[in-house]
Structure 1
């Protein structure tokens, strides 16, 4: 057993003062007022490791030209078989920067140039290769995109939308084609007589809510469009229940749509904040829009969208939440417990609780003080930065 003392420990669920994190190998035994093992150090503040639920780290790599980035595959509009992990390179120097800043886990997704861009991957930023970086406990999710981005890729290969209605029309076409095949099977048609591909299987699982869609969308009416889209298929058959998160939502500047998402238990992965509003559909983007996110009580996490803002800066975005009245504990919970819950990895990460991974960050002072920084970082009980 090993022990680490913190004058203040943010567990991801509560604040405990003058206590010890006791851990055995790679998991937490407990957070206690009693030391239960070999003392490794004492620090002013200890927090859980931070989690980025939406980024392109390892795909858009520091020090490499934009022509070599791999976030978007340009060969087709629908890429259900693509997987983000296959384009991640762990020698991206941004990983080392993130580890030093206490961000140890990432959900890496394809970009938003395609209507369906491929599967996401939840990884350890400290993995030596993509194989041992991959956290296999994470449930599968697939990147989808609405709004301006899929409209902006007309010169890429495949059947491309020129409008918002065109993008959803193409998506409908795909799903209705799968439904037609499923109806034939339900009527007793032999499988050998139907070309039911692996892509069809994935689209079926999207329809039935077995695969979560991570929907890139910024504007209120684009969110409304996708809610109608999901309802359209639900009306066909009760088993068609598309499950999804809303990723970004930075242009939302009224509360109503967040109320709708809360009522339907649809989480928001908000952000990134502190980036330039670089396109028209972000013309209402403002940190003050957080008021609507918070007042609605919708479930939410916070992303970096690296490299839109560097992943190592994700903690700095929390200052805006504190300006709206959140405590420091509540702010830290956003990029620990809440992000873990949305990604479906809260049984192993997100808080310093028994049997969860011993992944934590030791600070020389208050993390929200500009003079403070991590001095020791542990991932699964292993020293990563000193």
Structure 2
């Protein structure tokens, strides 16, 4: 894989840390700014909403820009809004800063995805995607627990400062490492890309991605209070629990990236069934600390393994829309990231307890499996080794 691809992964690491770190900082933000825990959870939904709206809009905006310029602009905005978030005493300002930061994140990721796949052979989209998304999973392994630890050591604002500092090396290095026009770069007209987005195969893949990611974020957003109030984990060990989930997600993306191009059906069908069953089991045995910790790791593996495979399949399905397919995949996954925490917050607010978001996660994956089964005739799965399309049975 080209070095520039790993540099993009470094920037994605900073952005992933920002997106996920509220799972460990939510209770502190709620206390400091005088809002409820579900309201603090809405910061994650707000970020996801910004990603949803920003991905297609910023992708369209940047289609005529040199990719290096677009990457630099979006990353600079991302850095600045984290400085604003770190100094504000207003929940409203913090909420707005999360949306703006998400818009910049969405633009960066949309451009980074199309840049990444342009730097590798046509049958290696899964590997390129996994290399880029490794930054997200490393954020779960290192960035998010570190953010929670920094929040405990100082406060949640220090975590925001840390994210801003994380973006600096990539901001400095991108001009020297990422060419303005990546190898294989070719412009496709906006109308042609929009026409390609009508593909039933692509639309179904995006729906499945939204449902699977919604399930992931529905539980992950409330993992800190779930750990301490149900799982029997002390507050001091919450960063370790978040790291355990992140380690699982890194394993999932790594393994999926190696096999999803060649055996997508095994990853998606087998992984999807296991993911659904894992969430259901998690909801039942969450009070057992040992089982809780095992399932935190296992669900991290399955959630990001299946999710990464779905992103690569969206890129295969949208080959005639190289920019907007990646943007729509980003948007779809963040529809899930917005709806998931909201749904979990609704069930908690209704008095159904902290296990209820886990049950909702199982339900969302079950809906994804049913949708895939119902739409299998329009959802041929692309094998990366050639042009053959194989029906997903």
TM-score > 0.5, shorter chain as reference: no
**Which of the two has greater helix per residue?**
2
TM-score in terms of structure 2 length: 0.24
Task: Normalising by structure 1, report the TM-score.
Answer: 0.24
Higher Cα Rg, which structure: 1
